[in-house]
Chain A
Amino acid sequence: MAENGATSGAHEGEERRDFLKILFGATAAVGAGAIVWSFGAALEPGEAARDQSVFDVDLAPIEPNSGISLRWRGKPVFIRHLTAEQVSAVEATPMKDLLDPVPVKQRVRPGHHQYAVVIGICPHRGCIPVGNKASDPRGPYDGWLCPCHGAAFDAVGRVRRGPARQNLAIPPYRFVSDTLIRLG
């Protein structure tokens, strides 16, 4: 085919063919990518699950020296309204007495020191500490007590007694107004 003096023509034809092949292959790959992407996107949490990810909580009904538990993204979240005495008690705790030393200002939001918001999962073995209900024991440090192995936390969720080695985690949240927080 490349004979009879049309060598360059045939060569051009081949180049054209290869170009078209690559162009076709690339277009088909775009299509395949779109299919993979849409099937992947379908595995993301749907709207119903996304609904749970951001949560407004009204703090006004929480009396001082009491707390509430709620579920956020499947995890227990504790919110405690501290009295002025409780705030000054945790602020007075010397750093050297803490197992996981963190100042109080890193455990609460500025201007809202009376509200402690923590994730209620003991960092030791994942049990849910008690201390939110009026009838619950709060442990020796007036915070939460883990019923499984006896870890004790103070009123802003810092660990004071093992076996846990870390403080209770803090969920991402911000104050929308003085008595309303947005979790997530």
Chain B
Amino acid sequence: MRRLLFAAAVALTALGLGQSARAETRTPQSFRFQSLFGTYNKASLQVGFAVYQADCASCHGLSLVHYRDLAHLGLSPQDIAAIVSHIKVQKGVDPAGKPVLAPAMARDAFKSPFPDEAAAEKKFHGAIPPDLSLIERGHRDGADFVFSLLMGYRAAPPNVTMPPHHFYNIAYPGGLIAMAPPLKPGSVTLADGKKPDVQAMAHDVAEFLAWTADPTLDQRKAVGLRIIIFLLILGALGGFAIRAGRRT
């Protein structure tokens, strides 16, 4: 039986290694949260949010995120109140049936950039910009993918004919993407007055989108570590108790 379990484990490991050895076309970036005990970098998340607001929010929604969730990035209630006061969302209709615009509230979900998919299709020549809430979900390298995509714009090689409204991107499957290079240098200003370059912006917005896809990562690792330590103590105590019981 021991041999059987061992053989199955070896087979699984070998095949797993073979899998991961496949050619990787993406640029690996170091994200602290991707390491075993790593957590999100709050400063990075805040810049990432600013980048999203400046360069992404006009086309991509974040339907699963609420403004109050920004507290997880280390923003105070006053900061959040200041942010939402500039965002006008529809709050019901007036007696004449016209939509009423009012400042968003902390409890509102992120504002959708367009009323429905049909409107988006019309505005963006048939390509609907996806909601970004879960764009990095399920890929261990999801943040790397977004970073590579943002940094992957190149001039199209001569043998590729570009369809209208498309751009050449080496990180995108097939190479042809309908999204124009979104990050504009200088669209974000940090607290110290500096303007991050495009690579720094891509890094931080990739981390921010990792957070939107998996906001409980920090809590999960902290609680999980406590559970594991508890189990180790419980196991040791139980082992001692059983051994002492045997001796008497």
What is the number of residues of chain B that contact chain A, defined by CB distance less than 8 Å?
Answer: 15
Say which residue of A23, A34, A56 sits within 8 Å of B237 (CB atoms).
A23
Interchain CB contact (< 8 A) of A21 among B230, B234, B241: B241
Cβ of B233 < 8 Å from any Cβ of A?
Answer: yes
Q: Are the C-beta atoms of A20 and B107 separated by less than 8 Å?
A: no
A27 and B233 contacting across the interface, CB-CB below 8 Å: yes
Q: Which residues in window 129-144 of A have CB below 8 A to B?
A: none
Main secondary structure of the interface of A (DSSP, over half): helix
- CB of B107 within 8 A of CB of A51, answer yes
Question: Which residues of chain B (193-226) have a CB below 8 Å from chain A?
Answer: none
Q: For the complex, what is the distance from the CA of A27 to the CA of B233, rounded to whole Å?
A: 8
A16 to B244, Cβ gap below 8 A? yes
Tell me whether A27 and B237 are in contact (CB under 8 A): yes
Q: How far is the CA of A21 from the CA of B246 in the complex (A)?
A: 12
Q: Nearest Cβ in chain B — how far from A61, in angstroms?
A: 11
In contact, A27 and B240 (Cβ under 8 angstroms): no
**Are B237 and A13 in contact, with the CB atoms below 8 A?**
no
Interface string of B60-72 (1 = CB under 8 A from A): 0000001010000
Q: Is the CB of A17 within 8 A of B234?
A: no
A residues lining the B interface (CB < 8 Å): 1, 10, 13-14, 16-17, 20-21, 23-24, 27-28, 30-31, 34, 47, 51, 56
Which residues of chain B have a CB within 8 Å of any CB of chain A? 66, 68, 105, 107, 230, 233-234, 237-238, 240-241, 244-245, 247-248
A-B contact pairs, 19 of them (CB 8 A): A10-B248, A13-B244, A16-B244, A17-B241, A17-B244, A17-B247, A20-B237, A20-B240, A20-B244, A21-B245, A23-B237, A23-B241, A24-B234, A24-B238, A24-B240, A28-B234, A30-B230, A31-B230, A47-B68
